[in-house]
A and B are shown apart, each in its own frame.
Chain A
Amino acid sequence: MSARAATLAGTRYVFDDLATLLARATPPRSGDVLAGLAARSAQERVAAQMALADTPLAAFLDEPVIPYETDEVTRLILDTHDRAAFAPVAAMTVGELREFLLADGTDAPVLAALAPGLTPEMVAATVKLMRLSELMAVAARCRVVTRFRTTVGLPRRLAVRLQPNHPTDDPRGIAASVLDGLLLGAGDATIGINPASDSPARTAELLHLLDDIRQRLAIPTQSCVLAHVTTTLGLMNQGVPVDLVFQSIAGTEAANAAFGISLATLAEAADAAAALARGTIGDNAMYFETGQGSALSAGAHHGVDQQTLEARAYAVARRFRPLLVNTVVGFIGPEYLASGKEIIRAGLEDHCCGKLLGVPMGCDVCYTNHADADQDDMDALLTLLAAAGVNFVMGVPGADDVMLGYQSTSFHDALAVRELLGLRPAPEFEAWLEGQGILDAARRVRPPEPARLPPPLRRLLA
């Protein structure tokens, strides 16, 4: 470990190792304060950013922030690092990579070729130097397209996960919310339920429910019940219809252990999903959720700041070629992201890091009622992410998740931002919406007038 330093206004600031430097350079957020890692003054933070800007990218390969010997995520990152892809930027510093990413001519093919050569730590470091507009501009240049029954991540498209949760997993209540979402143009990323109960029987019941709805209405989309991966794995072995396999993941081996998983667990689940081969136009069959602060919450952060650890979670994700990766940015609570301002920045950081690493990023634009945030903050983050080309967002009835007890984005919010920025649903799903008479000739969502809908949908509202 080598110390790095910078002098600002006559004071010399020394940072003992890379992890400390990364933490001190991070724009302010409550979780890093909680961990005792944040800069102790505004000037120390800028000094750290200056020292970080001068740090060679190669240093992140030589000095892992968590030891190779004790952490399988570090081993994954270093063992799969693509030296050839890294070559074009191998001689750069962090500050130079920032300029390269923003330069004219750095386009989607360049960034796609570079992705396997970038490590989470390099990307996290660069993002710490960037303003929101830069996080948006760089992310917008990246293209990460994935497929199962819909195509997610195409330019000028914004998909929505329809999230029809219910406090007791009542299938009728869930079906009612699914209908509401479909009629408002949501569901092209996935129709995905967070179950209130983690019992395998209940999970199986919900999987059958979603599969039946999908098949009877011939909806080109994929379903998911967000149970623990071991529950889903067991159900796949019993022939229950599983499209996407879900799991929450984090950026350290110990944090993943606190989730009850390891890379081997995920590999087993990914293999099982691949064997089912239920995708019609692609085989991206995993759905991961992440969020800054999860490692600290599990006491598994190893003295590394939460934004860097979040980027490491994307290295875990990309190993398994997911359809969707969702940073549930404001869900964890104010201990980690205290306010609308902190949530907005974190959401844009996560999206940019994920895209640079080649991960199909979406964002649950959300907050809890004990955070200093409100729906205006969500409007801001949703609009910034949509402008930055986010692959998908959530659609929750009225933005109010009545099971998880937090606020996300509503079906209406997604419609509004699609309209504001001229974004369209995933093409396969859009064609279905048009075929069902849900969209009018101008591709606006029609009011739910039963007479105008085809018989199967009409009967729902009769």
Chain B
Amino acid sequence: MKPPATAPSAADPWAGLRAHTPARIGLARSGSAVATKALLAFRADHARARDAVGDELDTEALAGALASLGARFGAPLDQVLTVASAAPDRATYLRRPDLGRRLDAAAAAHLAAHRASYDLVVVIADGLSARAVQAAPALLAGLLPRLGGWRLAPFVVARQARVALGDAVAAALGAGAVAVLIGERPGLTVPVSLGAYVTWLPRIGSTDAERNCLSNIHATGTPPAAAAQRLAALLGLMRQRGLSGVGLKEEGDLIAESKIRSDGIVGSDFLL
């Protein structure tokens, strides 16, 4: 026997609204519980996200893609330095954030050989989603043409890395700023989201309050090309002001405009 459904009927009133968000809105329900299909879809997505945490970064493929991209912009971007944190494996990485923030001994020596005076080093790190990092070359293809005035260090690919590993990389190379592109914790709907963290004058022990972050870089969030534009603007502002973190905010000339934009939405048929 079919249970009495409290679900929206054939003409799903949520269909139009779903176009605006990947969130699980308008779920069919029975009593306070969601329908069986929604329950199992959630479980499947959780299973996928759990598996994504364990994925290892294919550093060779990534380094190859970065080197061919960098070659178009000349030395030293045709070089890719691959390093690892002090966390020897995935299981240790998850439990020991302190190790994920430190370079292993080989990495420190490897980077020291390339030490020079750079304005910026870009670190591409696996973080919690090795697959998300596949979007990094596309982002960099949009970013590099906007960084004409910067002396860039070779790309650094980092395994079992936390954001703060970028501070150690910058210190070892002699870079005045660092941008870390890192796989964010895999979500249920988006297991492949990239985050970009920028830090001015990074040093070992830089705090999160000294960084600016651009998160949710993925096809259904901020796509790589748009992220490149925003990241370039953020880097430019950081350099101009000589700081990063909570003291660095995009300036407020858009605030008056924002009111108009929200009126456009609430005032339209969309909501009322």
Contact = CB atoms under 8 A, between A and B. Distances in A.
Contact of A171 (B191, B193, B262): B262
B216 interface: yes
B95 A177 contact: no
Interface string B188-218: 1111010000000000010111001111101
A212 B263 contact: yes
- For chain A, the bracket of interface size reads 35 or more
B240 interface: no
Interface string A400-416: 11111111001010011
Interface stretch (B68-76, B143-151, B249-257): B249-257
Interface in B233-272: 245-247, 249-255, 257-259, 261-263, 265-267, 269-272
A208 interface: yes
Contact of A397 (B24, B215, B216): B24
A175 to B, nearest CB: 5
A17 interface: no
B104 interface: no
Task: Identify which of B23, B193, B216, B270 gathers the most chain A CB atoms within 10 Å of its CB.
Answer: B23
Interface string A147-181: 00000000000000000111110111111110110
A171 B265 contact: yes
Contacts of A401: 187
Contacts of B218: 167
B185 A368 contact: yes
Contacts of A179: 17, 25, 271
Contact of B216 (A198, A403, A412): A403
Interface string A31-66: 000100000000000000000000000000000000
A71 interface: no
B114 interface: no
B221 to A, nearest CB: 4
A397 B95 contact: no
Nearest to B21: A173
Contact of B246 (A176, A260, A368, A419): A260
A400 B258 contact: no
Nearest to B17: A176
B185 A369 contact: yes
A5 interface: no
A165 to B, nearest CB: 8
Contacts of B6: 447
A209 interface: yes
B220 A240 contact: no
A180 B18 CA distance: 11
Nearest to A238: B255
A202 interface: yes
Given A370-B185, A448-B13, A166 B23 contact: yes
Given A171-B265, A175-B20, A369-B187, 16 more contacts: A34-B96, A164-B23, A180-B26, A196-B222, A201-B250, A201-B258, A212-B263, A258-B207, A258-B208, A334-B94, A401-B187, A403-B216, A406-B187, A410-B24, A419-B31, A447-B8
